Amino acid sequence: MRLLLVLLVAINAAWAQGSPERGHKLFLDMGCYACHGTVGQGGERGAGPKLAPNPFPYEAFAFQTRRPRANMPRYPQEFLSDAQLADIYAYVSSIRPGPAAKDIPLLKAD
């Protein structure tokens, strides 16, 4: 139990150190956008699930990236380092929701 707690603290510390700027570049360079959209909105025709805003916890994000289910390719540590994964998570976490449709002037009926 103590080892698990230490591991969780280390994982949380790693993502807390992530850089949204580096993560955005990696998100594009690694091709994440192809399935998840350029701002994590999800892919067309169900290509990839919505990641942002409000992504699921880092532990689940990391697990899915390393040991994916369904059709997502696996990104082992040899291909995507823990630091890079933390950067990608920092980017996805930094994405804020867009405005509500009612707040977009062009969508308001006159």
pLDDT at 7: 57
Confidence (pTM): 0.77
Residue 57 near residue 14 (C-beta atoms within 8 A): no
Nearest partner of 84 among 62, 109, 100, judged by Cα: 62
Residue pLDDT, tens place only, 6-32: 555 555 555 458 999 999 999 999 999
Q: Give the DSSP H/E element, type plus range, for residue 89.
A: helix 82-94
How is residue 71 annotated by DSSP? T
